[in-house]
Amino acid sequence: MKIVAFHNLKGGVGKTAAAANIAALAAEAGIPTLLWDLDPQGAVSWYFANTGSGARAPKAGRLVKGKTPIGKTIVPTGIDNLDLIPADVSFRNIDLQLEKHGDNNTLAEWLEPLGEDYALVVLDCPPSMSRLAEQVFRVADRVLVPLVPTWLSLNSWHQMQAFIADKKLDSSKFYPFWTMADRRKTLHRELLESPPRELKQLMPGYIPYASDVERMGEKRQPVHWFAPRSSAAIAYRLLWRSLSKGKRSLKL
């Protein structure tokens, strides 16, 4: 089982849309996939309209204390090969629960039994540098980091690198990719054409700033379902191809 996390210190950068689209593309490629919404805002859970009432959403405290088996929190999405662990607002306090009742391997222990049913787990993470983030960074095979082509977004990348160094994490598993890119803007165009040298593992292509991505909220579907020929759908397919084939492949 491989684990891919989507994370950024900043919110509103297209992280959740990317996680939802990549998970759906993986499932449609025949890969048994689980999408876990770790963000208490629950945006990726909301994208999938057929997940039921959310009654099974895991309570942070019960999970950390071992009172809720992770398997009982999983719900179908309506997409073949794709299941979901919905978000719960209690995860806003997950760091406190990990501090009181968890350890450095809590997330790994939750994920370990899922390998019997899934080949890929996609984690949509909350925008923070926290105890949970540290555990995500340790357990993930890839951490995909969406970056808007701006200096402020690049500064968030530098902050993440400082966190990685401080916690002595493996920096080789972090892969940035451009998102919400608008080639009409001079700075965006310049950064797309000449990426900073510190983005050594930059994924190819970019996710455009496009209305079709915003329409995911209206359609509650992956982009390629309702706009398969759009620039956004093509961009997500390229991102998935980079993950599933070539030198960046997860070898699923």
The residue-averaged pLDDT of 211-229 equals: 91
Q: Is residue 132 a contact partner of residue 110, using CB atoms and an 8 Å limit?
A: no
> Which pair of structure tokens corresponds to residue 93?
């306090």
Q: Name 111's Cβ contacts closer than 8 Å, sequence gap at least 6.
A: 1, 3, 70, 121, 139
Q: Which 8-state DSSP code applies to residue 227?
A: -
Which is nearest to 207 in space by CA: 233, 185, 244? 233
Residue 249 domain flag: no
Give the other-Cβ count within 10 Å of 103's Cβ: 10
Q: Name 16's Cβ contacts closer than 8 Å, sequence gap at least 6.
A: 6, 39, 43, 44, 47, 124
Residue 237 domain flag: yes
Which is nearest to 244 in space by CA: 29, 11, 41? 29
Percent of the chain with pLDDT over 90: 60
**Residue-wise burial string across 76-101, b where 16 or more C-beta atoms lie within 10 A, e elsewhere:** ebebebbbbbbbbebbeebbebbeee
Q: Name 52's Cβ contacts closer than 8 Å, sequence gap at least 6.
A: 75
Residue 32 domain flag: yes
* Domain range enclosing 218: 2-244
- 158: domain CATH number is 3.40.50.300
Residue 131 domain flag: yes
- What digits encode the pLDDT tens for the residues 132-165? 889 999 999 999 999 999 999 999 999 999 999 9
Is the full-model pTM beyond 0.85? yes
Q: Which of 74-88, 112-126, 182-196 has the lowest mean pLDDT?
A: 74-88
User: Tokens 């359609």 belong to which residue?
Assistant: 219
- Residue 86: per-residue pLDDT: 87
- Residue 193: per-residue pLDDT: 96
- Residue 88: per-residue pLDDT: 75
Residue 127 domain flag: yes
Residue 252 domain flag: no
User: Tokens 């960074």 belong to which residue?
Assistant: 137
* More confident call, 56 vs 167: 167
Task: Please list the alpha-helical segments (H only) found in the chain.
Answer: 15-28, 43-47, 60-64, 94-101, 106-111, 131-139, 151-166, 186-193, 211-214, 216-219, 223-226, 231-244
* Highest mean pLDDT, choosing among 11-15, 26-30, 82-86, 104-108: 26-30
**How many structural domains comprise the chain?**
1
- Residue 61: per-residue pLDDT: 64
Residue 251 domain flag: no
Q: 54 pLDDT band (50/70/90 cuts)? A: very low
- What digits encode the pLDDT tens for the residues 172-190? 999 999 999 999 999 999 9
- Residue 51: per-residue pLDDT: 46
* More confident call, 136 vs 128: 136
Rounded CA separation 8/10 (Å) = 5
